[in-house]
């Protein structure tokens, strides 16, 4: 009886694999949707049982199709979700190893850098990288060795999606924690994000630095200028995080440089006052001869006062 049941399961799997191998894009898309719906949150042994101990054969097909199609985006979201089911499965370490052996990490990082990649696909790729990182220190090191810190940081800076940015932020924090070999590199990558053009990315970078800085013995001098510049922003959520980070750094070797910059901000020089356009809200038709400092100067003065007080 048991043998007959096993034979039925094997036959079912072979039919599925045969259908995949000969199927069109639409057929494969349908197979992926069914797989995702039926196998969410299953453990590694459960997946193996579902595929009659041949789950690796299906995973191999998924990873092969991913490498062939990720640049054109064919069912990319579903492919990544299906692979995530394997890689994140409890007691499914062999699936993680198989995914890494075929260059899965590099493929995910390339997806993050593609201009044509959709935000949802970038988010899913980062979530899959997070599953890899969660497997332990050596896997975090593997991501970092593959230039993952730069790829994820650039994705955070350029993304227009809050969800993508949030997952990227969490991954950067994860790569810093329990990873002494690359913690300093993550730290410098976060500093590089401070002057980026995205206020959301600036805010998240400062938030991460608040957590990563205590892991670093000394503060890097390069953090001072971009951090002080962040206090000029009109985005108060960014300024708040910058102030919190400045207060934290008062306990580190960059204290004197920070204080010098803050004191300069309290009394800006003539060049600072003359630079930039004067905002409309500061213009007074009755006092057109009076030159008022640009609004960011006032904002920075207020922030400096908060830090010093």
The pLDDT of residue 1 is 43
Return the biggest CA–CA distance within the chain.
Answer: 97
159, 200 Cβ separation under 8 angstroms: no
Regions of the chain where pLDDT drops below 70:
1-2, 5, 269-294, 309
The pLDDT of residue 281 is 41
Cα separations (Å) of 184 from 17, 105, 172, 220, 303? Answer: 45, 21, 12, 10, 28
pLDDT in tens, 90-112: 999 999 999 999 999 999 999 99
Total-model pTM: 0.89
The pLDDT of residue 288 is 45
Burial class (CB in 10 A: 0-12, 13-18, 19+), 57: middle
Closest CA to 98 of 69, 144, 60, 41: 60
pLDDT in tens, 143-170: 999 999 999 999 999 999 999 999 999 9
- DSSP percent split of the chain into helix, strand, coil, nearest 5: 75, 0, 25
User: Cα(49)–Cα(84) distance, rounded to whole angstroms?
Assistant: 18
């Amino acid at each position: 009886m048991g043998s007959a049941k096993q034979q039925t399961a094997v036959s079912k799997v072979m039919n599925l694999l045969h259908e995949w191998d000969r199927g069109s894009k639409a057929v494969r898309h349908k197979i992926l949707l069914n797989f995702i719906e039926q196998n969410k949150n299953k453990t590694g042994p459960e997946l193996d049982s579902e595929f009659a101990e041949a789950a690796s054969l299906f995973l191999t097909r998924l990873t092969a199709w991913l490498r062939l199609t990720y640049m054109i985006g064919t069912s990319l979201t579903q492919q990544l979700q299906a692979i995530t089911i394997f890689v994140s499965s409890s007691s499914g370490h062999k699936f993680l190893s198989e995914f890494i052996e075929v260059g899965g990490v590099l493929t995910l990082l390339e997806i993050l850098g593609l201009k044509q990649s959709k935000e949802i696909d970038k988010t899913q790729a980062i979530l899959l990288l997070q599953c890899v990182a969660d497997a332990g220190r050596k896997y975090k090191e593997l991501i970092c060795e593959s230039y993952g810190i730069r790829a994820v940081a650039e994705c955070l800076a350029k993304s227009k999606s809050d969800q993508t940015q949030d997952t990227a932020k969490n991954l950067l924090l994860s790569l810093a924690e329990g990873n002494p070999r690359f913690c300093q590199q993550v730290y410098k990558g976060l500093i590089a994000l401070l002057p980026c053009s995205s206020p959301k990315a600036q805010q998240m970078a400062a938030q991460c630095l608040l957590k990563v800085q205590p892991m670093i013995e000394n503060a890097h001098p390069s953090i001072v200028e971009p951090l002080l510049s962040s206090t000029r922003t009109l985005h108060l959520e960014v300024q708040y995080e910058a102030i919190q980070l400045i207060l934290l750094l008062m306990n580190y070797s960059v204290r004197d440089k920070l204080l010098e910059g803050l004191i300069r901000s309290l009394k800006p020089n003539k060049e600072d006052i003359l630079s930039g356009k004067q905002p409309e809200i500061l213009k007074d038709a009755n006092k057109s001869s009076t030159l008022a400092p640009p609004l960011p100067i006032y904002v920075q003065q207020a922030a400096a006062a908060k830090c010093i007080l």
